[in-house]
Amino acid sequence: MNNNSKVLALKYRPKTYKDLIGQEIVAQTIFNSIKNNKPANAYLFTGIRGVGKTTIARIVAKSLNCKNGIDKLCSEKMCENCDAISKSNHIDVLEMDAASKTGVDDVRDLIEFSRYGPSSSKYKIFIIDEVHMLSKQAFNALLKTLEEPPEYLKFIFATTEIKKIPVTVVSRCQRFDLSRVNSADLFEFIKKVKDKENGKISDEALKLIIKISEGSVRDALSLLDRAMLNQDEKTELGIKEAQKIFGYFDKSYLINLFKFIFQGDEKKVIEVYQTIYNQGVEPKIFLNDFLEILYYIKNISSIKLDGNNFSLNDEEFKEIELISKNISSDTLLLFWQFTIKTLGELEIVSNQNLSMEMFLIRLLYLKEDKVEDSQKNLDFNNEIYSNNNRDNTEKFNLEKNENNLEVKNKTISQIKNFFQEENLKPEKKIESKLIKIELKNFEDLIKLCNEKKELKLKYELETNTNLVSFMDKRIEISFNENLDKNFVKDLTFKLYEWTGQRWIITFSKKFGQLSKKQNIINEKLKNIEKAKNEEVYKKVLDALPDAELFDINLKDEE
């Protein structure tokens, strides 16, 4: 393929350690280990997409097999080995995608292939991408070879989900966690690429690309490629055009939206939102960006503008700083909770656009002078305010608005007297004077469970409970792993409800009595054995030699 026809992400892929961006420590560590002839048996690279996992794996493979040595690692004029590795067709360097070859049979083939030494290079190398996709059996089959491979064999693993790899595998590898690429470094890199490709893109548009890519070099190059394909040869691609290309709206719209919300201008709020919506922004993306601006307003005092932060420009920073001076933290936290709640409601509403407009209108009524009232009506945590908050609300309403005094006091009185009125009901008094049930032994407890229709508890008591001792308000039982995990909690609650007293249930190392069910089974077996010695059973066997006695029912003495 012609180099000029390649996408930028492939065209500018690093070929040596010096070309790597933001991974200097990892590169230096690996370089030193190979130079000192101490390469690891297996390398494991983990990190988000686009930070160089597969790229570093190929560079390591090249540095192990380069004919010129690691100090003169091929960059432009490739040796035979480096050229083949770059094109993924080297006979001794096998690249495998674990997402498509996950089974134990694939790993067995790999191990079988590893028994033979390299044919044209110093090392035989297996590069396994997305290694976390291998099955548990495949990982187990790999363990022995991974721990003590032949001198000529090296493994290089790459993954985005390190937690899915067994610890036994991770411990046999030299692990490197690749970090997100620094915004300033990434900006300088794509700016150089833009200049080499003769692109006309403003620095503000490049900074937008950096923000969207979230530290991924591949994403940044792909976005740059897309931007250059959309640019006019004569004019520079600016921030406005870039936002349209990437479906990303300007933060200034959101900042203005917050201004109008705090001013209480409903008409302007809806106009600004409709402008954002007409740009093709999804409601979920809008809410997430809304939360981001909310975060900046709350924490603007601790945020610094530097070369590593492209989230805000100077003008946006100053505007947010002005807004934050006039808004209390309580209001902002309430806005945050309300927005999170709305995110969860999006899937319920068929027309999400209308839901967004109503969301913004409701925010207009959550301004600072109405925060206390709104908090009563919004049930974010399904909790009623504590008495202290209600007292503070009452005091606030008395000072705020005398005309509204009667309504506020009525509401607060209802909340305060809810439990008092419940206690005044005659039915409640009768319930509190119920006759307490006395339990003398374990059998009484089982009978009580049967009477109260607590069949689950009755089953656990009869089947899985080995009683050690039954005393006043204390039950000791042997530990039994078959017991339901909520058995102790449920039984304690029911005992308190039935007897009006708190019972203590403890587990003991002592082997208690057999369960009631086991006693029944043992008694049944005993009766069967006894019946087999009777003359009647022997006569049956004489007539029917294949007959077996499975069960026996004892008749009453009458």
Question: Block means of pLDDT (10 residues each) for the chain, length 558 residues?
Answer: 73 88 90 91 92 92 88 83 87 87 85 86 91 90 89 92 92 92 88 89 87 87 88 79 77 84 88 84 86 86 60 73 83 88 84 88 70 43 42 45 44 40 42 62 86 85 86 83 82 85 83 82 82 80 77 64
> What is the sign, positive or negative, of the torsion defined by CA atoms of 334, 337, 343, 346?
negative
Q: Which two tokens stand for residue 137?
A: 């059996």
94 φ, ψ (degrees, to nearest 5) = -100, 120
Structure tokens at 348: 């319920």
Say how far apart CA 511 and CA 180 lie, in whole Å. 58
Q: Give dist(CA 393, CA 412) in Å, integer.
A: 8
Helix%, strand%, coil% for the chain, nearest 5: 60, 10, 35
Strand partners, 201: 237
CATH topology for the 442-513 domain: GMP Synthetase; Chain A, domain 3 (3.30.300)
* Cα 194 to Cα 117: distance, rounded to the nearest angstrom: 44
Close Cβ partners of 507 (under 8 Å, ≥ 6 residues apart): 476, 477, 478, 479
Q: Which two tokens stand for residue 345?
A: 């409601």
Q: Which CATH architecture has domain 3-177?
A: 3-Layer(aba) Sandwich (3.40)
What are the tokens at 193?
A: 């690429």
Q: Whole-angstrom Cα distance, residue 171 to residue 398? A: 66
Q: With residue 45 as reference, give the H or E element that holds it.
A: strand 42-46
pLDDT at 397: 47
- Cα-based distances in Å from 498 to 308, 423, 470, 528: 65, 20, 17, 40
Instruction: State the amino acid at position 388 in one-letter form.
Output: N
**pTM given for the model:** 0.57
Structure tokens at 312: 């805000």
The Cα 393–Cα 387 span in angstroms is: 10
Q: What per-residue confidence (pLDDT) applies to 372?
A: 45
User: Which of 3, 136, 125 has the alpha carbon at shortest distance from 60?
Assistant: 125
Backbone φ and ψ for 400, nearest 5 degrees, come out as -80, -45
Distance CA 25, CA 289 (A): 34
Token pair 């026996």 is at which residue? Answer: 552
Return d(Cα 125, Cα 134) in angstroms, integer: 18
Q: How would you classify residue 453: left for phi > 0, otherwise alpha for psi between -120 and 50, otherwise beta?
A: left
Structure-block tokens of residue 243: 């936002």
- Confirm if 208 and 243 have CB atoms less than 8 A apart: yes
CATH architecture entry for 251-383: Up-down Bundle (1.20)
Domains of the chain, by residue range, sit at 3-177, 183-246, 251-383, 389-423, 442-513
Order of strands across the sheet that contains 153-159: 93-97, 124-129, 153-159, 42-46, 174-177
Burial class (CB in 10 A: 0-12, 13-18, 19+), 192: exposed
| Alpha helices (H) in 472-543, listed in sequence order | 487-499, 516-532, 535-543
Decide if 372 contacts 393 (C-beta within 8 A): yes
What confidence score (pLDDT) does residue 330 get?
84
> Between 3.40.640.10, 3.30.1330.90, 1.10.8.60, 3.40.50.1100, what CATH number should domain 183-246 receive?
1.10.8.60
